[in-house]
């Protein structure tokens, strides 16, 4: 398994260590997945150290501080779209160059990490983030149909309020706890709950699932 990270080397290595302790083989590779040259380098490491890729999880992404559209800069909007839309598309492209039979592959599975924001819109907070995830949903459906007959499945999960460090990027690391009363289930979600859904979609248990979405929003 390859763990890609942008800047948190310690956390990536810690996760690799946990995988190795269970008997798995893992490497951590730094790369900015909004940059195709770095993606090429990332996949090159996978080829040389792990072999041909059969599964890809597009989990990298970013969000800005909560604000309205009329205060957002061009830089912020472009950064959101490059990280949350172009990055997953480029990573999927290079995965397909290894998965598709026409390129010598034997198929595979791709899971995109979207968000319930894609269908809720996040007004007054993150319409840019919501729009990027809406684009990712459309990409998921389109690519799933494009490669369905070639042994590659493409699905997505849409998490809601999940207890992760991601919310610190929005300027409010305690955001999930504050918003728990608005969640029908009355609590925020856990990263492991999202991971279980991703693992299922990657597995043969989901062999007839493509172009599908699993919402993990506690009822939102």
Give the whole-angstrom CA distance, residue 155 versus residue 195. 14
- Can you say whether residue 127 is alpha, beta or left, with left for phi > 0 and alpha for psi between -120 and 50 degrees? alpha
H-only helix segments in 2-148: 9-21, 36-49, 74-81, 87-99, 117-120, 127-147
- Catalytic positions: 129
- Can you say whether residue 50 is alpha, beta or left, with left for phi > 0 and alpha for psi between -120 and 50 degrees? alpha
Instruction: List strand residue ranges (DSSP E) for 55-208, in order.
Output: 55-58, 108-113, 152-159
- Can you say whether residue 72 is alpha, beta or left, with left for phi > 0 and alpha for psi between -120 and 50 degrees? beta
């Amino acid at each position: 398994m390859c763990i890609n990270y942008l800047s948190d080397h310690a956390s990536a290595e810690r996760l690799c260590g946990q995988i190795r302790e269970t008997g798995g083989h893992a490497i951590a590779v730094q790369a900015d997945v909004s940059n195709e040259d770095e993606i090429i380098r990332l996949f090159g490491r996978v080829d040389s150290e792990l072999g041909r890729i059969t599964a890809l999880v597009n989990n990298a992404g970013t969000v800005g501080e909560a604000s309205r559209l009329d205060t957002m800069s061009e830089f912020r909007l472009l950064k959101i779209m490059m990280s949350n839309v172009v990055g997953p598309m480029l990573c999927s492209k290079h995965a397909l160059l290894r998965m598709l039979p026409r390129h010598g592959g034997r198929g595979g599975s791709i899971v995109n990490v979207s968000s319930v924001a894609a269908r809720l819109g996040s007004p007054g907070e993150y319409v840019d983030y919501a729009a990027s995830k809406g684009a990712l949903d459309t990409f998921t459906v389109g690519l799933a149909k494009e490669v369905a007959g070639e042994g590659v499945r493409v699905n997505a999960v849409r998490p809601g309020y999940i207890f992760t460090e991601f919310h610190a990027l929005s300027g409010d690391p305690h955001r999930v706890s504050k918003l728990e009363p608005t969640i029908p289930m009355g609590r925020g979600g856990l990263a492991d709950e999202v991971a279980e859904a991703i693992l299922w979609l990657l597995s043969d248990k989901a062999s007839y699932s493509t172009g599908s979405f699993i919402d993990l929003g506690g009822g939102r």
